[in-house]
Amino acid sequence: MQHITALGFDLFDTLVVVQHLQREEAVGRLLRSLEHSGLALTVEAFLPVYRAAARRFMEAAQRDGVETYNRLWVSTALQELGHDIAPDDPRIALGVDAYFSAFVDYAVPIPGTLDMLAALKGTYRLGLLSNLTYAPAALRIIDKLGMTPFFDAILVSGQLGYRKPHPMVFAALVEQLGMPQAQTAFVGDNLDADVRGAQQAGLQPIWVTHGQVQDTSAGADVPIVTNWQELARLLHRP
């Protein structure tokens, strides 16, 4: 690897994991919020319509790199069920926030992450670049887990309007870190969004697998680490 002066990190399944959360619980929180706002809905009626809408919006976002938003999924589902409610309706905003509160509650750091960030802080400029449609949830998670002070730049796709692997988000990260693009590495678990996205944007990708069994042959041309100790050794390699 070339000389590195800045490091960007993905968030989910790279620095943190959401443990033991059943998707039904998150949707249940959304439904309870909507019911509290006066909308009578059942899980049986809402869930398949909501999931179909979410799938359509996410497929378009992944294809085009333009971020989607949960308020659009909820509004679309409600409209298909006969409720004429716009995406910017405050009842939907409350519901989306309730939905993501489950992710905040169940997020935990991958073992050794805080120590790793503490060891790198001061030697490198550190940034966070996460794909998440609802930026407040990502910000709450890193704040709750004590990670916020480690980062010189924090970017979430829900704020940027684009998502990895779109080159715009990596360019925004480099700009905020203030170090040369070629001296900036990006650490992530997703081959397409994190590794290939960083590589195509001119950053140095590092693929972290955390020991998960997967086919790494597709990433044979980039450094692969299975834990934070291996990352430290890679960074300090002459």
Q: At residue 193, does pLDDT exceed 70?
A: yes
Q: Is 188 helix (H, G, I), strand (E, B) or coil?
A: strand
Q: At residue 238, does pLDDT exceed 60?
A: no
* pLDDT reported for residue 220: 62
Burial class (CB in 10 A: 0-12, 13-18, 19+), 145: middle
Distance from C-alpha of 3 to C-alpha of 236, rounded to nearest angstrom? 10
| Spatial CA neighbour of 7 closest among 185, 179, 174, 151 | 185
The residues, any chain, with a CB within 8 Å of residue 81's CB and separated by 6 or more, are: 41, 45, 46, 49
Distance from C-alpha of 188 to C-alpha of 133, rounded to nearest angstrom? 18
pLDDT tens digit string along 91-111? 999 999 999 999 999 999 999
47-65 mean pLDDT: 96
